[in-house]
Chains A and B, each alone.
Chain A
Amino acid sequence: MNSSPPRPVILSARGVERRFESSSGSTLALQATDLEVAENDFVTILGPSGCGKSTLLRIIAGLDQPTAGEVRLDGQPISGPGADRGMVFQSYTLFPWLNVLDNVCFGLRERGLPRAEQVEIAQSFIAKVGLIGFEQHYPKQLSGGMQQRTALARALANAPRMLLMDEPFGALDHQTRELMQELLLGIWEAEAKTVLFVTHDIDEAVFIGSRVVLMSARPGRIKLDRPVPLPHPRHYSVKTTPAFSALKAELTEAVRVEVLAAAR
């Protein structure tokens, strides 16, 4: 990985801060944060719950506004949500009145593509997430893992510049989650996407990320930023390699300090 030429930075956050005002005073959720993401990076943002990692992601998505600082995508300041930043949420956000096919077509239809083209694109992504045969199913007829795979296909079908993922596998059981990690990793390796992935699961952060960013307890700020020294394509067996264990041990120690700080 180190021998590859430097890739252009497509996302840059400068001094991004988020303060929540309430009647009982103001809370600093996110301290002035700088983050740069290069093209084709897979950055996992790791941190204890309540550290502001989701807030940072939501600001990048344009769903929340920073109280200070600025986020730029390809040099353009972000002012609101847009199709260039596809998002997969922790909660199941498929539109319950649309079947799998029409959910995946949602953004394509929004762009005004002819129906035949929408279906063609949607089908290819439905195939990539392994849901062929479920096109006519409604979200309520799918398991949690299948719903998140559909949500992933829906976001990818839009051909976003970046894929933002907010603990997308957080509500899934352990086995399903591991399968989803491998699926996502496989898609990233094949499609050369740029991904920003928020999680509190250290194994997950190291296994799928090409770079792990650790955030401190509230008020959140970036504490560690480490490349993941594991080659691609990755097989789940890398989880037993010394390189994986070393990074995991370092992160576990660092996260523990933060969790203790947050509990105090």
Chain B
Amino acid sequence: MRPLVPVSFATRVVLGVLFFVVFFAAWAFATLGGYVSKTFLADPITMFKSGYALITEMDFAHDIAMTVWRVVGGFVIAALIALPLGVAMGAYKPIEAFFEPFISFARYLPASAFIPLLILWAGIGEAQKLALIFIASFFQLVLMIAVIVGNTRRDLVEAAYTLGAKDRSLIWRVLIPGAAPDIAETLRMVLGWAWTYVIVAELIGASSGIGHMITDSQALLATDQIIFGIIVIGVIGLISDTLFKLANRRMFPWAMLGR
């Protein structure tokens, strides 16, 4: 093992899986060995059993689907507005000067603090959940996209101008394609953050969703179900992250060269 020396793909997979094994083994040892009371922490076997029961008997799949739809829905709306605005801010400094101070301020507002207001404005239905995800991801996305676009290499911009490019085609043929891989990476990262907010949205005023199931289980002290819910979120996050990474690699093969 030496600093910065890469490992092979197979080793990477083995090591990655190994930690999951270690994690579950430690958990099983603590709970099945009787070191931790069942009231506070369910053991892995009970957890998987009640997880199975949740899915087969209590229609947990519907909760999962609702949660996924909320995250994706709120995130897609945020991205659809953040992309053009972020590109415009990155490309045109007056537009950036106009929006940037407010968005920097709005970015630090804790999204969860908006829940009472959102309930007041949008009720406890889907609109409130989507709005929360929107608030949580929109401002971050806009700022990061604006920075990425603004960091376009100036020598590429100059090269494009000397090849006859006008401002409009500079944006479409240089700024956007050059920024695209980093923007895709940002989308992937912010989608991860959106996941952490959907559960908050569902803890209050929801009648379905993974967060709702967790709140219900809390009343019953069903730590096995709570942990199963958390693991499901983690697994979905891992899957969406991996799919996003694969998609980015396919879409931007040039950006992966020499990395």
Contacts and interface: CB of A to CB of B under 8 A. Distances in A.
A158 B155 contact: no
Interface string A83-101: 1011101010101111000
B231 interface: no
A154 B160 CA distance: 11
A61 B162 contact: yes
Interface in B214-259: 252-255, 257-258
A19 to B, nearest CB: 21
Which of B155, B162, B252 counts the most A-chain CB atoms under 10 A from its CB?
A: B162
Contacts of A80: 161
Nearest to B164: A83
Contacts of A62: 161-162
Nearest to B178: A97
A164 B166 CA distance: 19
Contacts of A81: 158, 161-162
A244 interface: no
B64 interface: no
Contacts of A151: 159
A110 B169 contact: yes
A97 B162 contact: no
Contacts of B255: 96-97
A97 B252 contact: yes
B177 interface: yes
Indicate the member of B155, B158, B164, B177 with the most A CB atoms within 10 Å. Answer: B164
Nearest to B181: A97
Contact of A93 (B159, B165, B169, B253): B159
Contacts of A86: 162-163
Interface in B152-175: 153, 155-156, 158-166, 169, 173-174
What bracket does the count of chain A residues touching chain B fall in?
A: 20 to 34
B164 A158 contact: yes
B164 A138 contact: no
B256 to A, nearest CB: 9
A54 B255 CA distance: 31
B32 interface: no
Contact of A107 (B156, B164, B253, B257): B164
Nearest to B159: A93
A192 interface: no
A93 B156 CA distance: 5
A110 B164 CA distance: 7
Contacts of B169: 110
A155 to B, nearest CB: 8
Nearest to A86: B162
Interface in A71-122: 80-83, 85-87, 89, 91, 93, 95-98, 106-107, 110-111
A140 interface: yes
Contacts of B190: none
B155 A91 contact: yes
Contacts of A110: 163-166, 169, 173
A110 B172 CA distance: 11
Given A98-B177, A106-B160, A138-B257, 9 more contacts: A82-B164, A87-B158, A93-B153, A97-B180, A106-B165, A106-B173, A110-B163, A111-B164, A140-B257
28 contacts: A61-B162, A63-B161, A63-B162, A82-B162, A87-B162, A93-B153, A95-B156, A95-B159, A95-B177, A96-B254, A97-B177, A97-B180, A97-B252, A97-B254, A97-B255, A98-B177, A106-B163, A106-B173, A107-B164, A107-B165, A110-B165, A110-B173, A138-B253, A139-B254, A140-B257, A140-B258, A151-B159, A155-B163
In the complex, the 9 A-B pairs of residues with the closest C-beta atoms, listed nearest first = A83-B164, A107-B163, A81-B161, A140-B257, A93-B159, A87-B162, A138-B254, A97-B177, A110-B164
